[in-house]
Amino acid sequence: MLGYATPAFDYITSRLFVAKIKENINDSYFDALQERDEKGKKFEDGMGGTSATQTKKQVALAMRNTRSKVETVGGNRNNRHAKIVVLRSRETETDNSIQNMLKNFGSRVDEPFIQFQDTPVFNIKDNGFVFDSDVNYHAGAYLGSWEDIFINPFDPKNKKTNGGRGMLTTFFLAYANTLRYLIHLTPYSMYDRIRTNAKYKYKRDTSVEKAKFIARNNLDLSSVLPAPVDEKTGHTIEEATKEAIEIANSRINDVQNALNSNKIHATFDSVAVGGSQAIYKFTLPRDPDLPNDWKDVQKKMAGFLKVAGEPIISSSAGMLTVSIANQRVGATEPINIPVDFAEMVKKRDKGMKTLISGIAGVDALGEVIYVELGDANPHMAIFGQSGSGKTVTIMNILFSMMNSVTPEDVKVLFADGKGNSFEFMRSDGDAEHPNPFVMAQPADGSEDIEYTRALVRYVEMLVRKRIALLKERKVSKLAEFNKKFPDEKMEEILFVFDEFSAVTDRDNELKGDDYTKYNVTDRIEYITKMARSTGVRLMLANQTARKEKLPGKIMANVTGRISLSVSERIEAEIALPDSNIPADLIAQPGEFYSIMHGVNNPEHGNSPFLTDDQMYDLNDALTKLFGVHKYVATREEIIAMAEEDINDIGVDSGTYESPTEEEMPASDISMDDLVALCRKYPEWAIENEENEKITGLDVFNKGVPAMTIKNKKIFKITLNSLKGKVAQDEEKQEAEASKKQRHSGNALSTVNGTDGDFATLPEEKVKEKMLV
Ligand SMILES: Nc1ncnc2c1ncn2[C@@H]1O[C@H](COP(=O)(O)OP(=O)(O)OP(=O)(O)O)[C@@H](O)[C@H]1O
Ligand SMILES: [Mg+2]
């Protein structure tokens, strides 16, 4: 079988390696093997040459016995293994010499899809020094395509004067591509190509079977929104994509050379384009000697490749990914493939994990990047400096969500700390383009701080009320409530808070009671901690991720993160913690990294650009479908509601168990019985510590003073230990609630029925203390 990476080809390659190894040693070794000394003279009888020539002889012998094997294996010939074993000798000196000779041999082997270590590894099993390599090789992907072969040399695009490559180059390319095609044309590659295509074309959407919710398709988006064209060039998506691929392919060698010049040796695997980026993937050798910090390499590569911004390099699972601005040599700017909002939303899976399920953008491979807020990931933050595309990204997430759910499922609240970015979402008065999902007037933190604070307080109250209601109905979370009480169905609420640190910064202007009631930091902290089960979710956005600006107690509970371009590395580190993603190197507005699916699954993409007019059109189309929806609460109502006393909500009262009528302590109850009763109903005891019913008992009032004083002491110790236990338990429940993300209901449902748990520990502790 002829063709690339076929058994015959692999056999020849393996023989070439053996020849190369032999080539590696100079003639004096073969002279030694022939029993000739340095001068080419035959050793004198019995002399056997010097010990140096003896060693050389041994080395040459070992080299002659080199074994080598190359094979392309795996169900669809997806892996290329290669191995060279140089046998060891019987003595150390010779072995050292062999090892010396083989130093750096690996990096001199220049064979596609084979990556040897620089220096061999000694392996006792193979009884020698081993180079081995195991590299991905997708036969089908390297087959090339007919379009590469049948290039029309007369196409005006190929005219040099049009910036094309010229007729001669085109002929040459067609010729070279034909050769490449033939070389790669093997049964495996054909099979692999067909299989991959089929997998791509006939991918079944299995999301519905597992899904909790089915995505609606509220709008015929393609008719609401025109297909986008690139603002600067007027390119359609197809035109831009075609050119982008061509540019990316033309730079494969440049990128490879740039890596090599930084002493990074990896084999090119594939390139993809999307947005303004070209993403090159390389296979790493077995023992890649990679820098700990890519900063330096990135800077050098930027200089080498002369591209806008610095490349972003990362490595995982044996692959090296280099993402660079996709631009021609000499061009000042990368090419941009516009992202089509309508196409992006159409690609969404039918099944949704959560109701608040939006799409922020698409990655370079065209896959959508989901932003889902639910029990697992209740809140998120979006970071990006001014002009990086925060507002646009937020609106992408919102509109893609609004296309899949109804206003009965989800409502949205808006606040902007620095201005009125969400003014256009207003739905009251003479608003021209009302949006049916908007729950209350958007708040403008710079102009109307009073309403902004009241709105935050309103959200907190809403969370508290919902918690109280869920508790009362003995359900653990909103979804369960809606299932059990369909007539009282409540929507999920998404609170979008842009530039929120501008509002928290002004908390210190508040004094006394007002501070307690309206300081936004504490409100937000409460919401991030407690709102999980109530279906109230936060989407925070901020220009800076700096710690001085973002209280840690808030950010610790905001697990979902997206970062657009930020100004400095330190900001990138805080925005996307533990991910090592240099978001400060992002060059384009709308380009972002998401760790919504964990730091181990970072996603990198571009969001579609939505103009104001397009967003008005989307609002109008949604209103046409759902009708005009009034605000759930007006500005005045929200300000009034914020004044309500939290304690009136009744979250904490009446929820603990109290002694029954008969169990209530009689005035002559013994101290032992009282302690037992307190332990049985700890919350009741704490609540009634100062109550006449307890302080008036005989044990504290009758008998010798020494006795009553001692009893008071015992009671105090008992209660203190109970308080500690109750507080501990609450903390534990809270911690568990945030740990057991999916079973968020537990924090509520375990409040009852814990009485037994209190019994043991305090008793021992109390006795211990009483002995003292
Ligand atoms: N996805 C995108 N594609 C192309 N251009 C974009 C994209 N997103 C944003 N832009 C450009 O960047 C500009 C600023 O975007 P946006 O208002 O969303 O930034 P921002 O981060 O919210 O800024 P600010 O902090 O000033 O509010 C837009 O007017 C647009 O020109
Ligand atoms: Mg903005």
Q: What is the DSSP string of 375-431?
A: SSS--EEEE--TTSSHHHHHHHHHHHHHTTS-TTTEEEEEEESSS-TTGGG--STT-
Residue-wise pLDDT for 240-288, tens only, equals: 988 998 899 888 888 988 998 888 888 888 888 888 889 998 988 777 7
Ligand 2 center from residue 544 Cα (angstroms): 12
Q: Which ligand is nearest to the CA of 422?
A: 2
**Ligand 1 pocket test: which of 391, 594, 607 has the largest number of ligand atoms within 8 Å of its C-beta?**
391
Nearest CA residue ID for atom 25, ligand 1: 386
Q: What are phi and psi of 128, to 5 degrees?
A: 180, -170
Long-range contacts of 384-387 (CB under 8 A, 24+ apart): 384/541, 384/543, 384/563, 384/564, 384/565, 384/566, 384/592, 385/543, 385/544, 385/564, 385/565, 385/566, 385/567, 386/543, 387/589
> Does residue 360 contact residue 605 with C-beta atoms inside 8 Å?
yes
**Among candidate residues 467, 452, 473, the one with its CA nearest the CA of residue 529:** 467
Residue type, 70: V
What is the pLDDT at residue 568?
92
Q: Is 385 annotated as a binding residue?
A: yes
Strands 603-606 and 356-363: antiparallel
Q: Is 232 annotated as a binding residue?
A: no
Residue with tokens 């008719």: 223
| Separation CA 66–CA 24 (nearest Å) | 12
Q: Is 390 annotated as a binding residue?
A: yes
Longest dimension (CA), the chain: 122
Per 3-state DSSP, the chain is made up of helix, strand and coil in percentages (nearest 5) of 45, 15, 40
Architecture category of domain 377-393+410-649 in CATH: 3-Layer(aba) Sandwich (3.40)
Atom of ligand 1 at shortest range from CA of 395 = 18
Burial 578-606 (b: 16+ CB within 10 A, else e): ebebbbbbbbbbbbbbbbbbeeeebbbbb
Nearest CA residue ID for atom 18, ligand 1: 389
| Separation CA 444–CA 603 (nearest Å) | 32
| Separation CA 254–CA 301 (nearest Å) | 10
Ligand 2 center from residue 528 Cα (angstroms): 22
Q: Which ligand is nearest to the CA of 421?
A: 2
- In this prediction, the residues of the chain whose per-residue pLDDT falls under 50 are 650-654, 741-763, 765-772
Ligand 1 center from residue 39 Cα (angstroms): 77
Ligand 2 center from residue 688 Cα (angstroms): 52
**Ligand 1 pocket test: which of 444, 586, 609 has the largest number of ligand atoms within 8 Å of its C-beta?**
609
Ligand 1 center from residue 710 Cα (angstroms): 71
- Burial classification of residue 108, based on how many CB atoms lie within 10 Å of its CB (0-12 exposed, 13-18 middle, 19 or more buried): exposed
Q: Is 654 annotated as a binding residue?
A: no
| Separation CA 402–CA 404 (nearest Å) | 5
| Separation CA 586–CA 593 (nearest Å) | 9
Sheet with 128-136, side-by-side order of all strands: 67-73, 79-87, 128-136, 121-123
Ligand 1 center from residue 437 Cα (angstroms): 23
Residues of the chain with CATH 3.40.50.300: 377-393+410-649
What is the pLDDT at residue 54?
79
What is the pLDDT at residue 751?
31
- Burial classification of residue 307, based on how many CB atoms lie within 10 Å of its CB (0-12 exposed, 13-18 middle, 19 or more buried): buried
Ligand 2 center from residue 409 Cα (angstroms): 26
In total, the chain counts a number of residues equal to: 772
3-state secondary structure of 560: strand
Ligand 2 center from residue 390 Cα (angstroms): 5
**On the CB side of 142, how many CA atoms lie within 13 Å of its CA?**
23
What is the pLDDT at residue 383?
97
Q: Is 725 annotated as a binding residue?
A: no
Q: Which ligand is nearest to the CA of 564?
A: 1
**383 token code pair:** 């970071």
**Ligand 1 pocket test: which of 333, 392, 500 has the largest number of ligand atoms within 8 Å of its C-beta?**
392
Pocket of ligand 1 (CB under 6 A): 384, 386-392, 421, 543, 589-590, 606-609
Q: How far is CA 259 from CA 20, 280, 282, 287, 301, in A?
A: 25, 11, 10, 16, 7
Atom of ligand 1 at shortest range from CA of 338 = 3
Nearest CA residue ID for atom 26, ligand 1: 386
What is the pLDDT at residue 1?
58
- The full DSSP string for 106-160 is HHH---TT----SS-EEETTTTEEEEEEEEE--GGGGG--HHHHS--TTSGGG-G
Q: Which ligand is nearest to the CA of 587?
A: 1
Q: Is 387 annotated as a binding residue?
A: yes
Q: Is 745 annotated as a binding residue?
A: no
> Does residue 386 contact residue 567 with C-beta atoms inside 8 Å?
no
Strands 410-416 and 536-542: unpaired
**463 token code pair:** 């969370």
Q: Is 384 annotated as a binding residue?
A: yes
